[in-house]
Amino acid sequence: MSVRGPRLEFAVGAFLLLALASLLVLALASTNGKFGFGQATYPLTARFTNLGQLRPNAPVKIGGVTIGNVAAIQLDPVKLDAVVTLAIDDRYQDLPADTSAGILTGGLLGESYIGLQPGGDPEPLKPGEEIAFTTPAVDLIQMVGKYMFGGGKPAADSGEQDSGDATGADATVPPSPTE
Amino acid sequence: MPFVAATRSLGRAGLFSLSVLRASTPTRDFFAELVREIYKIGARSLPIIAVGGAFVGLSVTLLGYRALETYGASNQISALVGLGLYRELAPVLTALLFIGRAGSSIAAELGLMRATDQITALGLMAIDPVAKAVAPRFWAALISVPLLTALFCSLAISASYFEAVHVIGIEAGSFWQVLKDAVDFRHDFCVAFVKAAVFGGTAALVASYVGYHAEPTIEGTSVATTRAVVNASLLVLMFNFVLSAFLFQG
């Protein structure tokens, strides 16, 4: 049963090498690679009336490219809306001051993320500044309910509905208190 | 009074663990013993861990696919397998397989050393038997179990990939991408190996304690072996719950 000397050491060395190699491959191929070596980021804040399913560490994307993540989510005790702190990668400086932020979902069952739409303002957002234009998360069940029980009204009936922008009008209606 | 006796035996076990840590000195003899123990309890456990891992990966994939298909979310199967493996299944199953194979052998060897008076002989020669016999096994287990867990995971994920992509028909690219998005490096991957190290150390300490303090008879050795496996398995499952409750708060 017991193996002597050099053969034993070779066997143990091979075992260790195999295990460490598989550890490395697993770390690279099956995790999200956030090794957390203090990547340089700067903070921005944004206020939302409804976060939907947004969680900390959710990605922040511009046009589908991830530029940062959600660092913290807090409730403002005075105004009672959600204050989200975004950690934006230092490589993406000088976002325009009229950038708008919205909470989008990757697919029907996907995770929520924050999508930024840059505007055209030559003034940049400084670290720590608040994003002025935000759109809250869309609640699918509410929308379905609205269309099922109150939809199909002609545009002339209620003055607030625009001809082609039904989604925009829905988004400005405040969420119902039953949530 | 059974409560007093139980508390005393728990205290003895704790003091034994402390003496194992104190007796671990990095001498050349220690490293020679360590290498030998890593071979015996680590490298030779490879077949059971590998085969176990492959079949666990296949089973969880099949089970998860049936459950997720109902919601049309069957391409999330790799997230289910990856998170389930790293968070719970890999550390616990590797530890239980390790206890069954290596824990019983540690307890049996130490029990036999006690029964054949080798421990007394070492004491007579002024060699600390804990430093010579127990400490290398403890450190070998602490090193081997995380490595065995890594091999368990890699085989389970490979088997899951094979089942999902080639048998069930999930797309290969989305399999890996969903897996990479779901598993966090620090909160899932690293935690799995911290858990595995804790379980390995616990298993080795329990098996060593029971074997070292076995009755010096043949019956005593066999009782020690079964007690080691049962107690170590129960402790691993309890610590798994405690660690999960503390570490997975998100």
User: Angle formed by the axes of helices B77-84 and B46-69, to 10°?
Assistant: 140
Mean pLDDT over residues A141-152, rounded? 79
Does the structure show a pLDDT above 60 at A29? yes
Q: Which amino acid is at B222?
A: S
Facing A27 at nearest CB: one of B157, B182, B189: B189
Using the Cβ of A37 and the Cβ atoms of chain B, whether some distance falls under 8 Å is answered with no
pLDDT of B249 reads 64
Between these two residues, A170 and B170, which has the higher pLDDT value?
Answer: B170
How many Cβ atoms from other residues are within 10 Å of residue A109's Cβ? 11
Q: Please write the tens of the pLDDT for every residue from A94-137.
A: 888 889 999 988 776 677 899 999 888 888 888 888 888 998 88
Q: Of chain A residues 106-135, which have a CB less than 8 A from chain B? A: 109
Dist. CA B47–CA A89, nearest whole Å: 45
User: Angle formed by the axes of helices B135-161 and B90-98, to 10°?
Assistant: 130
Asked whether B34 and B139 are in contact (CB, 8 A), the reply is yes
Which residues of chain B neighbour A33 with C-beta distances below 8 Å? 180, 185
Which of A3, A31, A69 to probe the B interface (max B CBs under 10 A)? A31
Does the structure show a pLDDT above 80 at B156? yes
Facing A27 at nearest CB: one of B46, B181, B185: B185
Nearest to B60 by CA among B83, B81, B75: B81
pLDDT of A153 reads 53
Percent of chain A predicted with pLDDT > 70: 78
How many Cβ atoms from other residues are within 10 Å of residue B233's Cβ? 18
Q: Please write the tens of the pLDDT for every residue from B227-241.
A: 999 999 999 999 999
- The rounded mean pLDDT for chain B is 93
Which residues of chain A neighbour B183 with C-beta distances below 8 Å? 30-32
Q: What is this structure's pTM?
A: 0.79
Comparing alpha-carbon positions, the chain A residue that sits nearest to B71 is A109
Does the structure show a pLDDT above 70 at B167? yes
Does the structure show a pLDDT above 90 at A147? no
How close, in Å, is residue A80 to chain B by CA atoms?
24
Does the structure show a pLDDT above 80 at B30? yes
Using the Cβ of A3 and the Cβ atoms of chain B, whether some distance falls under 8 Å is answered with yes
Mean pLDDT over residues A24-28, rounded? 91
Which residues of chain B neighbour A3 with C-beta distances below 8 Å? 39
Using the Cβ of A16 and the Cβ atoms of chain B, whether some distance falls under 8 Å is answered with yes
Does the structure show a pLDDT above 50 at B208? yes
Facing B150 at nearest CB: one of A23, A29, A109: A23
Confidence of residue B90 (pLDDT cuts 50, 70, 90): very high
Nearest to A57 by CA among A81, A94, A28, A84: A84
Which of A2, A23, A25, A30 to probe the B interface (max B CBs under 10 A)? A30
Dist. CA B89–CA B57, nearest whole Å: 10
H-helix or E-strand spanning residue A75: strand A65-75
Which residues of chain B neighbour A113 with C-beta distances below 8 Å? none
